[in-house]
Amino acid sequence: MKAILLASCLVAAISATAHDHDSWVAYRNKEQGFRASFPAHPDTAGHMFEMKGYQIPVKLYGWHQHDAMMAVGTVTYPPELPVKGREEFCLDNGIRALVNKDDAQISQSESLKVAGFPGRHILYTDKWQHSVELFIVLRGQRMYMVMGAARGEGDLQNPMYAKFYASFDFVGK
């Protein structure tokens, strides 16, 4: 009897995991030039910040549940603030803005290329003790921030984060 009960629990657990895997939402945003898969349809938010007298739009597309979060953020620089030739400066400032906002302690930072575009891979802990993994990439006049956050060290090792990061891609020009 115990064996049947255990087998039933295992089948239910495997079925639930398979269902969770299949229920992810493939999200595509042509206007912002990206696609990514989320565990559920992402919430969206936007605001403006001022930089050198210009209003810069920031858009956030994210999912969160309890102490887990996945998001893609975009920052679109106006033509009057050219990014070309200043990529390292823009990446450093993007990281600095996030780190200062979150009172973060960076544990790892490395340069990388994503689809040939310059970027950074950052690991940090924020003031709420979330472990955060962040990829920042510049593509033309737009900065993309692809991030996952979880409470507790090691929680970012959950396979759902790898699935989320692997699903991110650029669309359009």
Q: Are 133 and 123 spatial neighbours (Cβ–Cβ below 8 Å)?
A: yes
Q: Percentage of the chain surpassing pLDDT 90? A: 54
Domain boundaries, the chain: 25-170
Beta strand pairing status for 142-151 and 169-170? unpaired
Tens digits of residue pLDDT in 105-122? 889 999 999 999 999 999
Greatest CA span in the chain, whole angstroms? Answer: 72
Amino acid at the residue 30: K
Distances (CA, A) of 48 to 54, 66, 77, 102: 9, 27, 11, 18
Fold of the CATH domain 25-170? Protein Transport Mog1p; Chain A (3.40.1000)
Supply the pTM of this predicted model: 0.82
How far is Cα 61 from Cα 4, in angstroms, rounded to an integer?
Answer: 44
